[in-house]
Amino acid sequence: MSIFLQVAQLVEKGVEAQLIEREDTIYIRNQLLGLLNLKGFEEVTIVATEKSIPDLLEDIVSYAITEEVIEDVLDDKEILSAKLMDCFLSKPSEVNQTFYSKYEDSPEQATNYFYNLSKSSNYIQMNRIKKNIHYKTESPYGSLDITINLSKPEKDPEQLKRERAMKQKITYPKCLLCIENEGYVGRTGHPARSNHRIINVPLEGEDWFLQYSPYVYYNEHCILLCADHREMKINKGTFQRLTAFVEKFPHYFVGSNADLPIVGGSILSHDHYQGGHYTFAMTDAKEEFFFKINQFDDVDASIVNWPLSVIRLRAKDRNKLIDAATHILDKWRGYSDTKVEIQAFTDDTPHNTITPIARVRDGLFELDLVLRNNRTTEEHPLGIFHPHQDVHHIKKENIGLIEVMGLAVLPDRLKYELEEIRRFLLDNTNHVTDYHENWAQEIKEKYSTTVDPKSVDRILEDELGKKFTKVLEDSGVFKTNKEGRAAFEKFITALN
């Protein structure tokens, strides 16, 4: 297919997606031609195509490789693709103006606009996200989400060679979440962000910014990031900002990873939160029992039926909710109960923190406070309240905010390893990856009379869901058994 037709089709798709107006087409076309080192344009009849913007981008990038405009290296391809789509985008100030113009009609209209813009501009990598394996599975705690992450591209050998050869120490932007990423072209080892836009969302007198995750794990998976490059910290200010955000955007939830290693997220160097328009299993989890906290009569408090240890607070008054949450955080920071292996400090090293999640429900502010502890022992060197050895073949990484709420983000290796187990269950192979052998054998014995080609996929999905349930149960500081619930009630007593 002619490169000129592909360019024309991409411009036409930009009009259809409302990225540009019809009057912009010649200007945009010329910008694209310049990036491809094309000095002229051959008029073509635009043939309608079923290809999406990401599909056409792939075709055009392939042309650029063939014509030696760029090298066939991941970063070069990502940089060109982002530059091509940046031609279709307004400047950040104009995007912000449009966002807040729509916000005047409703917060939902504003986020719909920005989410669709982020998808249409290929900042959110929808073609890659479609590769993810995703399904729901039932558990004693509700319907859990299982995702096998296949969306992030693998680095090719040349890319890895380039990164190893890098000698300069570039510290701009300081990290992947810094506001300086907006419009950044990218370089070896740092992703292309030419088509990246962020929305200024002031919170409690500070500049914070809203963006979407390039690899969304759920509907409207957004990231709130602080304008300053500062470390993650859970404190009263966190609760103030989280509740301020859901007051502005009541159709979204927002939460923060914990601020300590092991129980925190993958980036603790930059203060940020994650949110979106999605209902997780934890959101729908029922309350086991309610209780009152002295001094906070206007705040309803409850323990949630969830494998991790969750205190749910509800109040009409946002400030009273914040004060109650701060009281719980302060008590938890210094709380120990050696009978259930909870120790607040080792010398001066803290172990207790909280993963908080905020939302508005039925006209009330709601905060879920998930109690976390990151202490390690010889028996559990990766963490006492962390996935234990028997589930490491499925998940051994940190249990962050998304997993806490009931969505498993599992490594891509499982796609191939589960297919191997599937064949093993159907007696089509004797070989299973060594760290799955015991699990595969247990499944085979359990379903020896019922497994067949029609049932095997569901069986594997259910068994993987049970493993993730165990991951969550391992991460709970107060277990859901009798002893754990008694210990939880002891902490509730300590609050008063």
Give me 168's structure tokens. 């300069």
Taking CA atoms, 319 is separated from 239, 328, 401, 409, in Å, by 9, 14, 24, 34
With bands split at pLDDT 50, 70 and 90, how would you rate the model's confidence at 46? confident
Q: Name the phi and psi angles at 113, rounded to 5.
A: -60, -50
Give me 324's structure tokens. 């109650």
With respect to residue 56, please indicate whether it lies within any of the assigned structural domains: yes
- How big is the CA angle at 177 (ends 175 and 183), to the nearest 5 degrees? 95
pLDDT score, position 112: 98
With respect to residue 11, please indicate whether it lies within any of the assigned structural domains: yes
Q: What's the number of domains the chain is made of?
A: 1
pLDDT score, position 265: 81
With bands split at pLDDT 50, 70 and 90, how would you rate the model's confidence at 155? low
Q: 3-class secondary structure for 344-390?
A: CEECCEECEEEEEEEEEECCEEEEEEEEEECCCCCCCCCCCCCCCHH
With respect to residue 18, please indicate whether it lies within any of the assigned structural domains: yes
Q: Which of 2, 186, 216, 6 is nearest to 83 (CA)?
A: 186
pLDDT over 70 at 167, yes or no: no
pLDDT score, position 470: 97
With respect to residue 65, please indicate whether it lies within any of the assigned structural domains: yes
Q: Residues 439-455: pLDDT tens digits? A: 999 999 999 889 999 99
pLDDT score, position 461: 96
pLDDT score, position 163: 73
The Cα–Cα gap between 425 and 185 comes to 48
pLDDT score, position 48: 87
pLDDT over 80 at 160, yes or no: no
pLDDT over 90 at 328, yes or no: yes
Domain that holds residue 29: 1-69
Cis bond upstream, residue 350 (ω within 30): no
Determine contact, residues 457/135, Cβ cutoff 8 Å.
Answer: no
Please list the residues that pair with 290 across neighbouring strands.
302
**Measured between alpha carbons, how far apart are the two ends of the chain, in Å?**
73
pLDDT over 90 at 153, yes or no: no
Mean pLDDT over residues 83-106, rounded?
98
pLDDT score, position 350: 97
pLDDT over 70 at 469, yes or no: yes
pLDDT over 80 at 161, yes or no: no
In sign, the C-alpha dihedral spanning 76, 82, 86, 91 is negative
Q: Which of residues 387 and 165 earns the better pLDDT score?
A: 387
Output the pTM of the full model: 0.94
With respect to residue 20, please indicate whether it lies within any of the assigned structural domains: yes
With respect to residue 91, please indicate whether it lies within any of the assigned structural domains: no
Q: Which of 256, 486, 468 is nearest to 353 (CA)?
A: 256
Lowest mean pLDDT among 54-68, 137-151, 159-173: 159-173
With bands split at pLDDT 50, 70 and 90, how would you rate the model's confidence at 133? very high
pLDDT score, position 449: 87
With respect to residue 396, please indicate whether it lies within any of the assigned structural domains: no
Mean pLDDT computed over every residue of the chain:
95
Q: Residues 272-300: pLDDT tens digits? A: 999 999 999 999 999 999 999 999 999 99
pLDDT over 70 at 433, yes or no: yes
Mean pLDDT over residues 409-416, rounded?
94
Residue with tokens 């490169």: 3
Residue 388 CB partners (closer than 8 Å, separation 6+): 380, 470, 474
Percent of the chain with pLDDT over 70: 99
pLDDT over 70 at 156, yes or no: no
With respect to residue 46, please indicate whether it lies within any of the assigned structural domains: yes
Mean pLDDT over residues 469-486, rounded?
97
